[in-house]
Structure 1
Amino acid sequence: MNILLHAIDPIAFSLGPLTIRWYGAIIAFGIILAFIVGQREMVKRGFHPDYLTDLLIWAVPIAIISARIYYVIFKWDFYSENPGKIIEIWNGGIAIHGALIGSFITAYVFTKKRKTSFWKVADVLAPSILIGQLIGRWGNFINQEAHGGEVTRGFLENLFLPDWIINQMYIDGTYYHPTFLYESVWSLVGLLLLLVLRKVNLLRGEMFLFYLTWYSIGRFFIEGMRTDSLYIIGDLRTAQVVSLVTIVIAIVLFFYRRAKVKPIVRYLDK
């Protein structure tokens, strides 16, 4: 058994006073890859080549800000006493649900301004969102955060994980569930399913609704394993509540749009 209990250095490299952390580099890589995949499909679906770039110029910074606001709201007991730390995003403290809410609102407003279909844009970009999420979770891995409860090394070895993952899950003398990996794999499976659903040619909006449902189901169960959850009241985990609400809304919208939205437009329609 090869046991090397050396954590990965969160700093990728330094250039003079500039320090580049793996977390930021991984997030940036996820955004770039998501953009490349989304851009190709956007052009195929008839959008102007600059459309996605124009959208992301607004959506990315707003997503970061909303992710921070979301986190601060649910940690208000701390930040109300330490208001100077609210802007210290470099010390950690962003929530993906906040980022998604901010980016979805931005996309809705943007599509209305451009007189394009929000549902069409959301369908095209649903796989790209999952690409960003499945890659971004590896930033949590590097930071040794967003993990689950205690486990044994034997448990992790039985998952057939390589030593470099197992060793990184050894934190302060204890091994933990690699919930970052569970969510990353769940997102990868969802991505593959979405790529298949493109060929099925669902009704417009249903690719996006599938994404919302798929991600929320996985997040609900994985969140229950985590040790760093945000809470609404007592033991009520914020992410689980948001996930359940999202699932219900997505399912209601699926049946409502099938019954009420006319004329019927499908994913591959121009």
Structure 2
Amino acid sequence: MVHASIPSPPISSFNIGPLTIHFYALCILVGIVIAVWLTQRRLENQGAEKGIVIDIALWAVPFGIIGGRFYHVVTHPNDYFFAGADLWKTLYVWEGGLAIFGGIIFGGIGAFIACQRKGIRFWAFADALAPGLLFAQAFGRFGNYFNHELYGGPTTLPWGLQIESTNAAFPPGLPAGTLFHPLFLYEMIWNIGGAFLIIYIERRLRLHSGEVLALYFIWYGSGRAFFEWLRLDPTEFTFLGLKANVIAALLVAIAGIILFVVQRRRNLPYPESAYRPGREPAVVVRVSDDRQHPEVEPAEASTGAIASELDKTRQGTE
């Protein structure tokens, strides 16, 4: 008998005309918007131009989605490759199945390419992104709730999650009405708490040059390893008795520890700009014909060129 519990949503999508809108996809999009907004604010505090994160996201987000989907499909082959399977479903991201580890690797590659093109220091972008990425992942986990996925073992706790017995991942042998640990909720709370904690530590210790990203790896990797260990719908690959995702999460946490120690020992000076040396956008003052309405636009110009423009402005107004 089900007492106080968390019911699974009765629907996972809705229609607007011929379009089907999936709540999972909406949650992913909301998470991306929040991550972009917060990262932009944090980069602007280091002198970055407005809108620079959009330019980077245009590379990082598609790379991340492709990598996340690829990792998920590879680690769940029985869900997509069987006799009579519709192989197009390997592309149905809106039905769930974006692995963060693949997303981090491929998304990082896309972000690195974009940072090189825009002259942004990659570590500056990565550190600015870290808290926003945790917020985005929290919203992504809310999307798992709408898809009736990401839950742990049976529980009698009042916040147990209701999962219909017809669910493909429902454990055989358990009676209908069994409640499960809502891992999606646990990870949402873990991610949101981690984002605020990292921002606090960053300010107290004045972290930079990859140290904030390292804290993200440590926090997310350690938490994800535990949640994957509790999860009932694991990946199909194991090594030394551990699920592939548990191993991947532990490796992420270990990489974070190594990165943090290495960067702290380097004792690098605190950077004054988010840009690489020589790539800072300059402000060129262009005076209109009537000399009364100067226009300001960003451009890559030398200090001498700016001084020359300012001198012309003064001569024209004297």
Retained in 1: the 8 A contact 2:25–2:94?
Answer: no
Gaps of 5+ in 2: 166-175, 274-318
| CA–CA separation in structure 2 for the residues paired with 1:84 and 1:12 | 20
The alignment of Structure 1 onto Structure 2 pairs a total of residues equal to 256
Cα-to-partner distance string for 1:66-123 (whole Å, 9 max, x where unaligned): 1111112222355454444433334433212211221112112222233321111111
Q: Quick check: 1:225 aligned with 2:230?
A: yes
**Residue in structure 1 matched with residue 137 of structure 2 by the alignment:** 133
**Residue in structure 2 matched with residue 204 of structure 1 by the alignment:** 209
Gaps of 5+ in 1: none
| CA–CA separation in structure 2 for the residues paired with 1:198 and 1:78 | 41
The one-letter code sitting in structure 2 at the alignment partner of 1:225 is: L
Shift in alpha-carbon separation, 1:228–1:109, aligned structure 2, 3 A: same
Retained in 2: the 8 A contact 1:13–1:20?
Answer: yes
The one-letter code sitting in structure 1 at the alignment partner of 2:249 is: S
Deviation at 1:6, TM superposition (A): 5.9
| CA–CA separation in structure 1 for the residues paired with 2:183 and 2:12 | 22
**Residue in structure 2 matched with residue 169 of structure 1 by the alignment:** 162
Identity %: 32
Shift in alpha-carbon separation, 1:236–1:6, aligned structure 2, 3 A: closer
**Residue in structure 2 matched with residue 246 of structure 1 by the alignment:** 252
* TM-score under structure 1 length normalisation: 0.85
| CA–CA separation in structure 2 for the residues paired with 1:57 and 1:80 | 31
The one-letter code sitting in structure 2 at the alignment partner of 1:121 is: F
Larger Rg belongs to = 2
* TM-score under structure 2 length normalisation: 0.73
| CA–CA separation in structure 1 for the residues paired with 2:203 and 2:41 | 16
Secondary structure at the aligned position of 1:146 is classed as coil
| CA–CA separation in structure 1 for the residues paired with 2:196 and 2:6 | 34
1:114 pairs with one of 118, 136, 140: 118
Deviation at 1:181, TM superposition (A): 0.9
Retained in 1: the 8 A contact 2:5–2:162?
Answer: no
2:218 pairs with one of 213, 223, 226: 213
Secondary structure at the aligned position of 1:171 is classed as coil
Secondary structure at the aligned position of 1:14 is classed as strand
| CA–CA separation in structure 2 for the residues paired with 1:51 and 1:125 | 13
Deviation at 1:3, TM superposition (A): 5.7
Retained in 2: the 8 A contact 1:67–1:94?
Answer: yes
| CA–CA separation in structure 2 for the residues paired with 1:253 and 1:198 | 15
- C-alpha RMSD of the superposition: 2.3
Secondary structure at the aligned position of 2:54 is classed as helix
Shift in alpha-carbon separation, 1:3–1:121, aligned structure 2, 3 A: closer
The one-letter code sitting in structure 1 at the alignment partner of 2:259 is: L
Deviation at 1:54, TM superposition (A): 0.5
Secondary structure at the aligned position of 2:179 is classed as strand
Shift in alpha-carbon separation, 1:187–1:51, aligned structure 2, 3 A: same
Retained in 1: the 8 A contact 2:24–2:95?
Answer: no
Shift in alpha-carbon separation, 1:6–1:219, aligned structure 2, 3 A: closer
| CA–CA separation in structure 2 for the residues paired with 1:5 and 1:188 | 20
